[in-house]
């Protein structure tokens, strides 16, 4: 497939060139540089080991902000800024759960973000769907601990019980909630993540269980005896805390006001190191700019990297960035988010800009096909760039293969050792090629 219907006039030479022809040579240089670059993995190791996890409102998050800005400056990015953002401030505190009847056993658990504190001992009622919960109704749910134990299907499907299960049970008078973790079952691992309580519903203790403890609870329930659990949690939500987005640029040579923005979120959950979610995303985005700078490439438009704040439990960074732009949003050509882990990149999902933008993105994809990262498909984006996409900016999300992301996601196991250097470097290469070509093409994406 050679003809993408997209021909750019190369006026100096007087002949038509496809994106693929025009950028093949420079892309090869970018890819070679990215694949041998060690700086990205070194930065990610620093973020993971020396700063560690960084939930919004924590000391770790503010350390990460300061280090990120300093690192961007050291790498020679322009206009490095840390616009302040008020962030949600939830703290976990001590937490535990134990089976007290029909026998005594501690339960492996991890509290859900935004859940409430308390010391609750109550009988367990188990459901596998929201329909089952509604059928039980207030009569059978009030005063109980609700256990959601649907099978693991996918993050989208099973994750629904984490996202709204506690609120729905609390509305019926439940005193606590336990869930099957919203992740691929792993030995002795529970997956946290945010849960939301509807307005007027007070947060209750809510936790994800390890597969070992969940299945033990299921066996206890199957015995027909009364199953009682004690949940203790010091979790609380404090007033909003100080935070910041972090951003830096390679300014465009001809159209500096037109911006290609790429990035991920700097905050992470308060367990593990936030290596795959989303340390890999922010550092690969930054390293893409570093690679372009090393090669002395300055495209026509500006490439901006943003480390957004508070994605995990507030989306405050993405919203604040949108607000900061004001009318300037019209100059945002595309927003690219990498927040699906730093596994092997396979392509990008694109939303907005119509058939033209998709066709142009597919043409750029051809340039990274050599290492398998070129499959551009319709539909994609990211939480942090959501506010931009809602207001008309074309959005794209990096798609990765490998399939292990949801084993580590939101767990104590999301640590640096889970990031494969080769895969990470391919992400850098993919982002650098896309960012450079999008910023340098004669026509603006979608036109």
Residues labelled as active-site residues: 311
Nearer CB in complex with Zn ion: 141/413: 413
Q: How far is the CB of 54 from Zn ion (least distance, A)?
A: 12
Question: Could you tell me which residues are beta bridge partners of residue 322?
Answer: none
- Three-class secondary structure of residue 200 per DSSP: coil
- Cα three-residue angle 214-95-231, rounded to 5 degrees: 55
Of the pair 270, 277, the CB lying nearest Zn ion is at: 277
Residue 124 or 385: which CB sits closer to Zn ion?
385
Q: Which is nearer to Zn ion, 258 or 277 (CB)?
A: 277
Binding mask of the shown chain, residues 209 to 248, with x at each position contacting Zn ion by CB under 5 A:
----------------------------------------
Sequence-distant (6+) residues with CB within 8 A of 340 are 281, 397, 398, 399, 400, 405
Q: Which of 185, 226, 182, 245 is nearest to 208 (CA)?
A: 182
For residue 264, the minimal CB distance to Zn ion (Å) is: 7
Place of tokens 């494969």: 420
Binding residues with Zn ion: total (CB under 5 A): 3
Give the containing element (helix H, strand E) for 286: helix 280-294
**Quick one: 20 or 287, whose CB is closer to Zn ion?**
287
Distance CA 205, CA 232 (A): 7
Closer residue to Zn ion in complex, CB, 33/339:
339
Q: Please state, in angstroms and as integers, the Cα–Cα distance from residue 331 to each residue in 301, 364, 370, 442, following that order.
A: 10, 21, 32, 15
Burial class (CB in 10 A: 0-12, 13-18, 19+), 21: middle
What is the nearest approach in angstroms of Zn ion to the Cβ of residue 276?
8
Nearest to 118 by CA among 181, 44, 154, 170: 170
- What minimum distance in Å lies between the beta carbon of 410 and Zn ion? 9
Helix axes 19-36, 421-440, angle to 10 degrees: 140
- At closest approach, how far in Å is the CB of 278 from Zn ion? 4
Q: Are 21 and 9 in contact (CB under 8 A)?
A: no
Beta bridge partners of 10: 15
- Whole-angstrom Cα distance, residue 270 to residue 93? 11
3-state secondary structure of 418: helix
Residue numbers 338-397 binding Zn ion by CB under 5 A: 339
Token reading at 321: 């960035």
Nearest approach, Cβ of residue 103 and Zn ion (Å)? 38
- The answer to whether 179 touches 231, Cβ cutoff 8 Å, is no
Q: Residue 33 or 277: which CB sits closer to Zn ion?
A: 277
Give the number of residues written for the chain: 447
> Shortest distance, CB of residue 439 to Zn ion, whole angstroms?
25
Which helix (H) or strand (E) segment holds residue 333: the answer is strand 332-337
CB of 265 to Zn ion, least distance (A): 6
Which of residues 249 and 267 has its CB atom nearest to Zn ion in the complex? 267
Site for Zn ion, residues 319 to 348, rule: CB under 5 A: 339
Q: Tell me the C-alpha distance between 277 and 273, whole Å.
A: 9
Binding mask 268-287 for Zn ion (x = CB under 5 A): ---------xx---------
Footprint of Zn ion (CB under 5 A): 277-278, 339
């Amino acid at each position: 497939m050679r003809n993408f219907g997209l021909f750019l006039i190369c006026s100096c030479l007087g002949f038509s060139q496809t994106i693929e022809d025009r950028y093949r040579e420079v892309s090869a240089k970018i890819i070679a540089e990215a694949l041998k670059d060690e700086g990205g993995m070194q930065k990610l190791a620093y973020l993971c080991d020396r700063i560690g996890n960084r939930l919004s409102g924590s000391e770790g998050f503010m350390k990460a902000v300061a280090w990120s800005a300093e690192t961007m400056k050291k790498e020679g990015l322009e206009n490095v800024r840390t616009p302040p953002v008020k962030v949600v401030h939830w703290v976990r505190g001590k937490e535990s759960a134990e089976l007290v009847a029909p026998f005594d056993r501690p339960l492996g658990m991890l509290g859900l973000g935004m859940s409430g504190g308390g010391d609750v001992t109550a009988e367990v009622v188990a459901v596998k769907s929201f329909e089952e919960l509604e059928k039980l109704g207030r009569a059978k749910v009030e005063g109980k601990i609700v256990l959601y134990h649907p099978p693991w299907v996918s993050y989208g499907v099973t994750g629904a019980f984490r996202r709204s299960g506690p609120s729905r049970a609390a509305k019926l008078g439940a005193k606590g909630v336990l869930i099957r973790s919203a992740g691929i079952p792993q030995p002795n691992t529970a997956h946290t993540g945010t849960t939301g309580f509807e307005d007027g519903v007070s947060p209750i203790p809510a936790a994800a269980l390890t597969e070992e403890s969940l299945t033990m609870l299921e066996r206890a329930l199957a015995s027909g005896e009364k199953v009682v659990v004690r949940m203790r949690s010091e979790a609380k939500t404090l007033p909003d805390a100080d935070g910041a987005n972090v951003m830096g640029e390679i300014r465009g040579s001809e159209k500096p006001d037109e911006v290609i923005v790429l990035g991920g979120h700097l905050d992470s959950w308060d367990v593990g190191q936030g290596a795959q979610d989303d340390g890999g995303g922010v550092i690969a985005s930054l390293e893409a700019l570093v690679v372009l700078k090393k090669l002395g490439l300055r495209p026509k438009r500006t490439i901006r990297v943003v480390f957004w704040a508070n994605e995990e439990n507030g989306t405050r960074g993405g919203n604040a960035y949108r607000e900061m732009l004001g009318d300037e949003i019209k100059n945002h050509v595309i927003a690219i988010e990498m927040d699906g882990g730093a596994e092997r990149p396979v392509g990008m999902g694109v939303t907005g800009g119509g058939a033209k933008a998709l066709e142009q993105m597919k043409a750029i994809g051809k340039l990274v096909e050599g290492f398998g990262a070129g499959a551009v498909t319709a539909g994609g984006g990211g939480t942090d760039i959501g506010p931009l996409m809602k207001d008309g900016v074309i959005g794209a999300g990096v798609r990765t293969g490998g399939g292990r992301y949801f084993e580590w996601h939101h767990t104590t196991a999301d640590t640096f050792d889970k990031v494969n250097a080769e895969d990470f470097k391919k992400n850098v290469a993919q982002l650098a090629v896309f960012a450079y070509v999008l910023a340098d093409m004669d026509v603006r994406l979608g036109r």
